[in-house]
């Protein structure tokens, strides 16, 4: 059964963590919507936080999006993107709404920073980019070094190498 999935990001996100996950979920029959926290709909992808990659046009601004319209939210990483949205109160509220309503929250690479800032990490086991281990532990969570970790309705993953497993876990959780 097709589900509607929101991708939430700013700019300077890891392109593979958006574009490849998006395509894998579309291939599984899901509908995806790109939502940005930016004040313009053009968003900039990156390759390894160093090189600019493609630009994408978001479908909606965050202020126009309603969590009730979606079955899941996916948070791509990229250091700059993740650091930008983690302090965005509207992004925090958007993600908390998914979590509080039992909907799937999926974050890859540096994106679990947003989960830390929303207070959703305490008592949970997560994976992420290795440099987030101390942040997760300081927020009361447990860090594991695995391709994919699911704790309740939160799915986390480490990096672009884990994208196939990450997308498969999202798809399986939505079935």
CATH number at residue 94: 3.40.50.880
Per-residue model confidence as pLDDT tens digits over 93-133 = 999 999 999 999 999 999 999 999 999 999 999 999 999 99
108's CB contacts (< 8 A; 6+ apart) are: 14, 17, 21, 74, 75, 76, 77, 156, 157, 158, 159, 162, 163, 166
Annotated active-site residue in 3, 103, 110, 124: 110
Q: Which domain holds residue 161?
A: 4-174
Per-residue model confidence (pLDDT) at position 34: 98
Q: Is 110 annotated as catalytic?
A: yes
Per-residue model confidence (pLDDT) at position 99: 98
Annotated active-site residue in 21, 35, 109, 167: 109
Q: Is 156 annotated as catalytic?
A: no
pTM confidence score = 0.97
Domain count of the fold of the chain? 1
């Amino acid at each position: 059964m097709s589900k509607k999935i929101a991708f939430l990001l700013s700019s300077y996100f890891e392109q593979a963590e958006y574009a490849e996950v998006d395509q894998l979920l579309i291939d599984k029959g899901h509908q995806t919507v790109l939502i940005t926290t930016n004040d313009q709909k053009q968003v900039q992808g990156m390759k390894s936080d160093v090189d600019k990659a493609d630009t994408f046009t978001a479908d909606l601004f965050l202020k126009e999006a309603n969590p009730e319209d979606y079955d899941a939210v996916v948070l791509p990483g990229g250091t700059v993107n993740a650091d930008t949205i983690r302090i965005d109160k509207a992004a925090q509220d958007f993600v908390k709404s998914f979590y509080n309503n039992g909907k799937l929250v999926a974050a890859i690479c540096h994106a679990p920073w947003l989960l830390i800032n929303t207070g959703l990490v305490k008592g949970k086991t997560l994976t992420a980019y290795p440099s987030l281990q101390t942040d997760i532990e300081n927020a009361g969570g447990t860090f594991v070094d695995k391709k994919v970790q699911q704790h309740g309705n939160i799915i986390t993953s480490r990096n672009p190498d884990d994208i196939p497993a990450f997308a498969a876990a999202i798809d399986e959780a939505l079935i």
